[in-house]
A and B are shown apart, each in its own frame.
Chain A
C-alpha cells in the first residue's frame, strides 16, 4: 500500500456539526508530479462526495483553492504531493469563518480589497488612445501585479488574526502598493491618506509570514515597507 496517499482533512458543517473533526482518506498515487488538488478531486469524485472545497482553474491562476497544508498556507493545485509529509493534514485558511469543510467566508477580505479602490483613478481627461507607460514604469509593477488574491498571505498574518477588523492585511496592502506605484494613477495622495493609520497599515510588524506563504513567490512585506517609505518621503 506504499502507493497510497494518506490525508487527514478538516470536516465541519456548521449547520449539523457541533465541533469540527479530522477525517482520514487514502488516495492512490496515480502519476508522477501529482498535485494535491488532484487527490482532493479523487476523494470528491470517487470516495466521498460530501467533501467540500473551492477550485476552479487548477493551475494557480484563480486563487480559489487556498488552504492550510500541513500547517502552511498554499494553493492545492500547484502543491506537489511528493514534497509533503504524510498524512497530509488539510485545514481551511486560518482566522476566516468556515462555511463548510475547506470553504471559508472571504466577504471581509474582499470588503477590505474594495476599500483601497483597486482600479485606475484619474482626473485628467482620457487621452485619445490608451494611457501609456514606459517599459521602466511598467516594470515597477512586477512583483505586485501577479497577486491573485488567494488570501494565503493575509490568513497567515498574526496581525490580521488579532486585528483583521481594521488591519488591511498583506494581500490588500500589496494591491494598494500596486496602485500607488502605477505611473498612470492620479490618486496616489488620496491612497496614501487612506492608509495612513496605526491599524490599517502600521499594524504590520514585519513578521513576514506573508512572504513565506505566498504561492506566487511575492513579497507583501516589501510592498508594505514601500508604502511606509513613501509616507516618510511625503512627511520629511
Chain B
C-alpha cells in the first residue's frame, strides 16, 4: 500500500516575499550607486559640504532618499528573515524575526525623520 504523506499543505505566502525582495533589489540597484557617487564627490573634493547639502535638500532628492531607505529596509528585512528561517529551527525563530522587524522599523523611521527634518 502506498504510504500516506502527512503534510500541513501550502501556506500560499512565499510569492510576495520573493516578489518584494526582487522589486526592492531593482530600486536599490538604481539608487544605491547614486548615493555612492555623492560620497565619491565628497572624497575627491568635487563637492563641499554646502554643495552636498544643496543636492540632498531638494524635494526630489528627499523623495528618492525616502524611496532608497524604504527599499533598503524591505530588502534587508526579507533577506535577514530568510537567514533566520534557514538557521533557527525553534520557536525562537518568530521572536528573532519580530525583534529584527522592530529594530529595523525604528532605524528606518529615525533615518526618514532626519531626511525630512534638515534644512527646514
Which residue of B10, B15, B17, B82 contacts A194 across the interface (Cβ within 8 Å)? B10
Asked if residues A200 and B86 are in contact (CB atoms below 8 Å), the reply is no
Select which of A159, A201, A228 is within 8 A of B86 by beta carbon.
A159
The answer to whether B87 touches A196 (Cβ under 8 A) is: no
Chain B's closest residue to A115 (CB) is B5
Q: Within the assembled complex, what's the spacing in Å between the Cα atoms of A197 and B12?
A: 5
Kindly provide the distance from the CB of B100 to the nearest chain A CB, expressed in whole angstroms: 16
Interface size counted on chain B using CB atoms at 8 A: 19
| A197 pairs with B10, CB closer than 8 A | yes
Query: Dominant SS at the A interface?
Result: helix
Specify which of A198, A201, A231 lies most central, judged by the most chain B CB atoms within 10 Å of its CB.
A198
Q: State which of A112, A159, A196 has its C-beta within 8 Å of the C-beta of B15.
A: A196
Count, chain A residues at interface, CB 8 A:
23
Is A202's CB within 8 Å of the partner chain B? yes
In the complex, the answer to whether B86 meets A114 with C-beta atoms within 8 Å is no
Instruction: Given A114-B2, A114-B5, verify A197-B11 contact (CB < 8 Å).
Output: yes
A232, CB-defined interface residue at 8 Å: yes
Residues on A lying within 8 angstroms of B by beta carbon are 111-112, 114-115, 159, 162-163, 193-203, 205, 228, 231-232, 235
Residues of B within 8 A of A (CB): 2-3, 5, 7, 9-15, 17-19, 82, 85-87, 89
- 8 closest residue pairs by CB, A with B: A198-B14, A202-B14, A197-B10, A111-B5, A197-B11, A162-B86, A197-B14, A196-B12
